[in-house]
Structure 1
Amino acid sequence: MNEYPLAYNSEYSELSPTIEDIAGIASFAIVEFGAPWCPHCQAGELVLKEGLKGYTTLPHIKLFDGKGKKPGRHYKVKLWPTIVLLKDGVEVARVVRPTTLSDLAPLLNKLNEQ
């Protein structure tokens, strides 16, 4: 892993890890695809921050997504924000445009199964 953040970062990073880097993350990790100017991303950020506040050691990578960004295309991101929960580099849950804490249930249920 290189210079992109693995802990929670409040900003979307334009330093995109490769698909191989993402697939190589051991255990659970959150990869959040979005854009800093996106109103859905701004609204979802508050929900996600609240929902994940008990998971302070969970890697959380916020990726600036857009045209030509390979990780977003690989994960078939269509709308922002898209939050993907990985376990050992494999997608186990996904949430698109969360607006309430209950929208995060697919992610939180998987995290609580561990």
Structure 2
Amino acid sequence: MTMNEVYAGIEPARAEIDMLEGPTMLEFGSPSCGYCRAAQPLLASAFSDHPNVRRIKIADGSGRPLGRSFKVKLWPTLVFLSNGREIARLVRTGDAGAIRRALAQIESSPLA
């Protein structure tokens, strides 16, 4: 599975996310966010060890329903899901190791 580098302009519905099978990471952010841009090399490094995890980048903003349903307040917010259920969350992380650990957690989750 290739790593998604582009923020989705149209976000999926929460019901679609809840029905996803397997390990998935949602990345809420904005292309204009400095924290989001700084996180990209960390994410690329962490994902190199976890090619089977789906990555969905979502352009978030005021009034965007998917981000509000996950109670996103700061960018980037990384939500780690196994079969549509949240297993872990990282907010404005600067630690590739923490991202790797969360990715490993959703890959090995009994829900996966």
TM bucket normalised to smaller: 0.7 to 0.9
CA distance in 2, matches of 1:61, 1:71: 12
What is the TM-score of this pair, normalised by structure 1? Answer: 0.86
Q: Quote the Cα distance in structure 1 between the aligned partners of 2:100 and 2:4.
A: 22
Structure 1 residues without counterparts, runs of 5 or longer: 1-5
Give yes or no for contact 2:7–2:30 (8 Å, CA) kept in 1: yes
The RMSD of aligned alpha carbons is 1.8
Assess, with a 3 A threshold, how the Cα gap between structure 1 residues 35 and 17 changes in structure 2: closer, same or farther: same
Distance in 1, Cα, partners of 2:101 & 2:15 = 24
Task: Please give the alpha-carbon distance, in whole angstroms, between the structure 2 residues aligned to 1:105 and 1:10.
Answer: 18
CA distance in structure 2 between the partners assigned to 1:39 and 1:54 by the alignment: 25
Structure 2 gaps of 5+ residues are: none
What number of residue pairs does the alignment pair up? 109
Distance (whole Å) between structure 2 residues aligned to residue 57 and residue 110 of structure 1: 13
Counterpart secondary structure, 2:106 = helix
Equivalent position amino acid for 1:102 in 2 = G
Taking structure 2 as the reference length, the TM-score comes to 0.88
Task: Determine the structure 2 residue equivalent to 1:70.
Answer: 65
